[in-house]
């Protein structure tokens, strides 16, 4: 299949026009009725966005193929409108050598329903003791540019400084999971009224904010790039806003769940109290934090949405709160949650969504083939989305191997109808191709 005619799509929510895709590129846009094509897609009423890019996905392979594989995780990504994901390094073995990142990269080439860009670990084995082979991973076939110990914080200030210095040589970035370890020992839920009432060990906002403040200062000191993973508190936003006002090279992401859910879910939800489906790292915070995070994403203080898609098998989640694994899946619902939290509230238009979910994450993650506007000459990475759909979230219908979605039974707006990766459909009529 070499030519595709997408008819009547509203690019970034604008006036309907046709999009002709040829040999993996957008050939032409405009009124193209009557143009011959191998496949015609009726896109009346649908929004066309550049293919989404996720800076923060856990694909679990190698090591936890019972939770997710590169194949199922990228199927979930394609279903969610993504054309590229960054695969986090906390696999087993850890992606801390050229060999492991190349293995993940090759799995992506062979089984990926979207592009898979491996993230390299900052420290060997995520142990926080010595730097991993950053240069070798950067030089490998996987061309790693994002380094993260995600799941764990690089809490040692000297190691963090060295990592920031090291990645400058190849234009890399250190993506920090900001969690002061001593302040969060045994932590279960945001430290506040709800954790007090439920008797769950509190997870104070300051444990995140202290690390972010330190790392912004370190990045400025050595003149390097810092990316802050899953910002979850109002105070973190304030610190990032301050760092950006200084002109420092700091970027940040927020997850869909931190834009929609609060710690009160652990107390009151249709799924009952103490339901570990809401247990996540960093924890769900307060309604005021959610309000500030939404505003920060709207004004650009927070650069992008990243899913932190964290699949876990049923036995690791359906247990008591204290013993349950932290994390939730998110690839297949991210765009819907962003519509609910940001678009339907008037905070962001579709051009803004394209910027925060495609252009900026592609730029931060150094993916030159992604994040381009849907216009002639660009790679044909395109998502077609129906914002008028309203469906209850059904985990059993998801492509992910895991079912730990916190939105089960909730009605969310929107539906991804089609996804194209370099002109090849990966999803059509909402189904995997
Ligand atoms: Zn993390």
Per-residue pLDDT of 266-312, as tens digits, reads 998 877 889 999 999 999 999 999 999 999 999 999 999 999 999 99
* Strand 25-30 to 16-22 pairing: antiparallel
Q: What is the distance in A from the centroid of ligand 1 to the CA of 402? A: 18
Backbone angles phi, psi at 432, to 5 degrees: -60, 140
Q: pLDDT tens digit string along 67-82?
A: 999 999 999 999 999 9
Q: pLDDT tens digit string along 103-122?
A: 999 999 999 999 999 999 99
Instruction: Give the residue ranges of DSSP H helices in 261-371.
Output: 287-299, 314-317, 334-338, 350-354, 360-364
Mean pLDDT throughout 363-367? 98
105 neighbors 120 (Cβ within 8 angstroms): no
27 neighbors 50 (Cβ within 8 angstroms): no
Coil, strand or helix at 22: strand
Other C-beta atoms within 10 Å of 65: how many?
14
Q: What is the distance in A from the centroid of ligand 1 to the CA of 179? A: 9
Task: Say whether pLDDT at 64 is over 70.
Answer: yes
Q: What is the distance in A from the centroid of ligand 1 to the CA of 31? A: 45
pLDDT of residue 2: 86
Catalytic (active-site) positions: 308
Mean pLDDT throughout 325-351? 98
The owner of tokens 């799924």 is 271
Other C-beta atoms within 10 Å of 156: how many?
14
Q: pLDDT tens digit string along 388-420?
A: 999 999 999 999 999 999 999 899 999 999 999
The owner of tokens 């395109």 is 382
Angle ∠(90,93,96) on CA atoms, nearest 5? 65
* Strand 47-50 to 16-22 pairing: unpaired
- How far apart are alpha carbons 261 and 257 in whole angstroms? 6
Task: Say whether pLDDT at 249 is over 90.
Answer: yes
Torsion sign, CA atoms 361, 115, 374, 414: negative
Task: Say whether pLDDT at 1 is over 70.
Answer: no
Taking a 5 Å cut-off on Cβ, the residues next to ion ligand 1 are 150, 177
Q: What is the distance in A from the centroid of ligand 1 to the CA of 158? A: 20
pLDDT of residue 269: 82
Residue 422 CA to its chain's centroid (Å): 20
pTM for the model: 0.98
């Amino acid at each position: 299949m070499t030519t595709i005619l997408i008819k009547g799509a509203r690019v970034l929510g604008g006036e309907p026009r046709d999009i002709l895709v040829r040999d993996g590129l957008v050939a032409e846009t405009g009124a193209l009725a009557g143009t011959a094509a191998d496949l015609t897609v009726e896109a009346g009423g649908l929004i066309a966005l550049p293919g989404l890019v996720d800076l923060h996905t856990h694909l679990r392979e190698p090591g936890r193929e019972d939770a997710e594989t590169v194949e199922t995780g990228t199927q979930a990504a394609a279903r969610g409108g993504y054309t590229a994901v960054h695969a986090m390094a906390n696999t087993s073995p850890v992606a801390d050598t050229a060999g492991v990142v190349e293995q993940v990269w090759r799995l992506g080439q062979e089984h990926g329903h979207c592009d898979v860009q491996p993230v390299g670990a900052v420290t060997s084995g995520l142990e926080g003791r010595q730097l991993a082979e950053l240069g070798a991973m950067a030089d490998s076939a996987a061309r790693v540019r994002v380094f993260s110990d995600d799941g764990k914080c690089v809490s040692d200030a000297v190691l963090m400084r060295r990592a920031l210095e090291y990645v400058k040589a190849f234009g890399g970035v250190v993506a920090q999971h900001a969690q002061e370890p001593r302040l969060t020992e045994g932590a279960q839920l945001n430290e506040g009224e709800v954790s007090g009432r439920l008797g769950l060990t509190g997870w104070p906002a300051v444990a995140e904010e202290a690390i972010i403040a330190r790392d912004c200062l370190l990045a400025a000191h050595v003149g390097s790039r810092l990316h802050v993973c899953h910002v979850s508190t109002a105070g973190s936003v304030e610190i990032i806003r301050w760092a950006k006002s200084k002109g420092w090279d700091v970027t940040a992401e927020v997850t869909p769940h931190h834009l929609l859910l609060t710690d009160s879910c652990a107390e009151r939800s249709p799924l009952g109290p103490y339901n570990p489906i809401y247990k996540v790292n960093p924890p769900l915070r307060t309604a005021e934090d959610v309000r500030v995070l939404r505003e920060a994403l709207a004004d650009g203080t927070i650069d992008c949405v990243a899913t932190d898609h964290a699949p876990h098998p049923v036995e690791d989640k359906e247990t008591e709160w204290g013993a349950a694994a932290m994390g939730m899946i998110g690839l297949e619902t991210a765009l819907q949650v962003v519509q609910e939290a940001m678009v339907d509230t008037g905070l962001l238009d579709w051009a803004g969504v394209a910027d925060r979910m495609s252009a900026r994450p592609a730029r931060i993650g150094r993916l030159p083939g992604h994040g381009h506007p849907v216009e002639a000459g660009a790679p044909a990475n395109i998502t077609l989305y129906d914002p008028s759909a309203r469906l209850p979230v059904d985990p059993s219908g998801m492509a992910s191997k895991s079912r730990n979605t916190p939105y089960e039974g909730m009605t969310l707006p929107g539906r991804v109808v089609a996804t194209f990766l370099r002109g090849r459909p990966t999803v059509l009529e909402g189904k995997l191709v």
